[in-house]
Amino acid sequence: MDAADRYNRLLAEDEGMARAQSDWLVAEFGLRGITFDGVPMRSFLRPHFVERSDWTRLREDGHRLLEIAARAARRAFGGDAQRLLAWLGTPMAQARWIRHDPGEPDVVLSRLDAFLTPAGPRFIEVNSDAPAGFGYGDRMADIVARLPVFRQFSQDLPVNYPASGARLIEGVVHAWVEHGGAGFPTIAIVDWKDVKTRADQQILCEAFEARGFECFLGDPRDAAVLGGELYVAGRRVDIVYRRAVLSELVAREDEVRVFLEAYRDGAAFFVNSLRCHLSEDKAFFALMTDEAFPDLLSEDERHFVAGVVPWTRKLEERTTFKDGQLVDLVPFVINERASLVLKPAHGYGGREVFVGDETEPAAWEAAVNEGLGSAWVVQERVAIPEEPFPTFDGGSLVFEPLKVNVNPFYVVGAEVGAVARASRSSVINVSAGGGSVPTFVVG
């Protein structure tokens, strides 16, 4: 019996107990700031479990993929970021900021989207532009570990959650020091005041403060530069922990011009730098897996990437290879709808994603035609694992099979935690109605 089945059986033994603990979990999420848009984060009474061997591979393969991608982004097109941005189809309003190079590292923090398959993890996306969830993950794990059912379960199995907070703080501060920082920095976690994930940022702010750092939440509209130094809401800042995503910043550029110019002029150290967009772009997986760029990766790197990243191409009129066969891409995408996924290269939050076998043929063909000439990618669909999660249907406990996406965090190579998202939908996203749970390692 695997860990999930053991846990579910404990819940099934006493439905009243399960209901009471579920109610407590929701209330505790609200009390301790596990909220999304002001209400308790949607979650489940059972966390996600990963066997130690699967966790090791998920973490190590994810770290290696991110580091290969960051290096490849710096050498693609001979290191010409402008040419790379043009190939990726990056909107010009964003490209003018991304092409500025404040120096490495381009990626200090990230979060990957992955499915665990029998052949190992398959990474479908990278989220380096203001990755969310570090704070949520640690605090959710702390609350779940206090559940009586979890304490009973963990008496029989070794199980732990690799916390992220301490490593995140060390990674951010170390990157600042490597960039020439000295002394004890002041950190501003910067995002819009009304962002739905503000609670996650508050948790991280408290973690920085618990380690003795001055840290506060700021809004990019409150930036000012005095004497070459950045101030946010009147407070001088050494490190900007940027949580405002670039697409939203440029959409309101008139309001945040000082903030963006502070980045360009080096008035503070920004984590992540805007160059993180080069390797997190959904089209970058196309670059890494496309035979048109044979010299971008070493032979060993190409073999590794092919094993952990599904076949991905920019959506365009061309021929390319799929499983060793030369195909005409657009007709292939239309005809092989059931095995593919279409998505905008610069979207986020699961918006406008078309899952082929869940899309009517006419709607799929229309999406293909609309995506041509725009920055869209087509990706081989990975079979999504399903697991039974406890839910309450009309007040009764049921175990519903839900699709599961695991999201390991990244902090410059350190071992940090992961969260998982579960949903009835194949487009698994909290903002699109999914639920989030911490991932515990078994064994």
pLDDT tens sequence across 141-152: 999 999 999 999
pLDDT tens sequence across 349-367: 546 889 999 999 999 999 9
The total number of residues shown for the chain amounts to 443
Task: For residue 295, report the phi and psi dihedrals to the nearest 5 degrees.
Answer: -100, 0
Query: Chain-centre distance of CA 404, in angstroms?
Result: 14
Give the pLDDT band of residue 325 (cuts 50, 70, 90). very high
pLDDT tens sequence across 239-259: 999 999 999 999 999 999 999
> What residues pair up with 149 in beta bridges, in sequence order?
none
* Interval 323-332 mean pLDDT: 96
| Residue 139: predicted pLDDT | 98
pLDDT tens sequence across 166-208: 999 999 999 999 999 999 999 999 999 999 999 999 999 999 9
> What residues pair up with 319 in beta bridges, in sequence order?
328
For 76, the token pair is 């693609």
pLDDT tens sequence across 9-36: 999 999 999 999 999 999 999 999 999 9
**CA dihedral angle for residue 97, residue 101, residue 102, residue 108, rounded to 10 degrees:** 90
Tell me: pLDDT of 156 over 60: yes
Q: How far apart are CA 113 and CA 350, in angstroms?
A: 12
| Residue 336: predicted pLDDT | 96
pTM confidence score: 0.93
- Cα separations in angstroms, 16 against 19, 20, 22, 261: 5, 6, 10, 57
| Residue 352: predicted pLDDT | 80
Give the pLDDT band of residue 385 (cuts 50, 70, 90). very high
The domains found in the chain, sorted by start residue, are: 3-57+133-160+408-442 (no CATH), 311-380 (3.30.1490)
